[in-house]
């Protein structure tokens, strides 16, 4: 079992990474501090830097693949995705403050990234026009309820317009049943990303789904 030393070492490692590359992503912020608190919307806390490397292989990603992070915050997963050979990477963020920090993070690290087409969108996930060629979607529990259901329904609609395989990486999958209820999703794997978690709780887990 990992102890406090492991947590300290990982925290120091992440902060050292952020200092080295001149980025800022390691904060927890309540949405009322950002002025965007609303029913069905969560809080900002970044996912692990390693989660995409644990769920995606660079061999399976190519220039025709498109990545979308809903609730991209300060852009940590956008930066991670852009280290893969995606054709386009989108980050959708409702908070103007977090969006501006993400823009600065991308500027500071662009020369180290493989993807040249990074599109940070300051806007609402409910009004974002989801590309019909998106192949990987990331959620870090950014919203729940009708907001999440609407986004999932719109993702499925893109599959109806342009049949393909779509992978969903769902970090802290609070609304996992909504994904399965589409009848289009297959659970590929579940990863544990927390040392201690309450049995039966979605927190501390990452689910990977394939939608067709």
Task: With beta carbons less than 8 A apart as the criterion, state whether 40 and 145 touch.
Answer: yes
Counted domains in the chain? 1
User: pLDDT tens for residues 34-52?
Assistant: 554 455 555 567 888 889 9
User: pLDDT tens for residues 74-125?
Assistant: 999 999 999 999 999 999 999 999 999 999 999 988 888 999 999 999 999 9
Task: Please report the pLDDT score of residue 45 as a whole number.
Answer: 76
CA 96 to chain centre: 18
For residue 209, what are the CA distances in angstroms to 8, 30, 34, 142, 191? 31, 28, 31, 17, 12
Strand order in the sheet with 166-171: 118-122, 88-93, 66-70, 136-139, 166-171, 205-211, 185-192
Tokens of 143: 């919203």
E strand or H helix at 120 = strand 118-122
Task: With beta carbons less than 8 A apart as the criterion, state whether 120 and 75 touch.
Answer: yes
Task: Please report the pLDDT score of residue 194 as a whole number.
Answer: 77
Task: With beta carbons less than 8 A apart as the criterion, state whether 115 and 77 touch.
Answer: no
CATH of residue 186: 3.40.50.150
User: pLDDT tens for residues 154-172?
Assistant: 999 999 999 999 999 999 9
Enter the pTM of the model: 0.84
**Residue 53 belongs to what domain range?**
4-211
DSSP secondary-structure letter at 97? H
Choose between 200 and 157: higher pLDDT. Answer: 157
What whole-number distance in Å separates Cα of residue 139 and Cα of residue 168?
8
CA 56 to chain centre: 13
């Amino acid at each position: 079992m990992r102890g406090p030393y492991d947590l300290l070492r990982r925290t120091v490692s992440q902060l050292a990474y952020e200092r080295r590359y001149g980025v800022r992503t390691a904060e927890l912020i309540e949405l009322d501090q950002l002025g965007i608190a609303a029913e069905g919307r969560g809080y900002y806390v970044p996912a692990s830097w390693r989660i995409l490397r644990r769920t995606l292989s660079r061999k399976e990603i190519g220039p025709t693949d498109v990545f979308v992070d809903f609730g991209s915050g300060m852009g940590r997963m956008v930066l991670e995705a852009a280290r893969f050979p995606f054709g386009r990477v989108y980050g959708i963020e409702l908070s103007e403050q977090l969006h501006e920090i993400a823009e600065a993070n991308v500027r500071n690290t662009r020369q180290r990234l493989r993807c040249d087409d990074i599109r940070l969108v300051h806007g609402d996930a409910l009004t974002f026009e989801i590309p019909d060629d998106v192949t990987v979607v990331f959620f870090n529990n950014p919203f729940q309820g009708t907001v999440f259901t609407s986004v999932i329904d719109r993702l499925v609609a893109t599959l109806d317009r342009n049949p393909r395989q779509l992978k969903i990486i769902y970090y802290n999958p609070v609304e996992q049943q909504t994904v399965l209820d589409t009848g289009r999703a297959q659970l590929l794997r579940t990863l544990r990303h927390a040392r201690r978690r309450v049995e039966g709780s979605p927190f501390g887990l990452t689910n990977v789904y394939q939608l067709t």
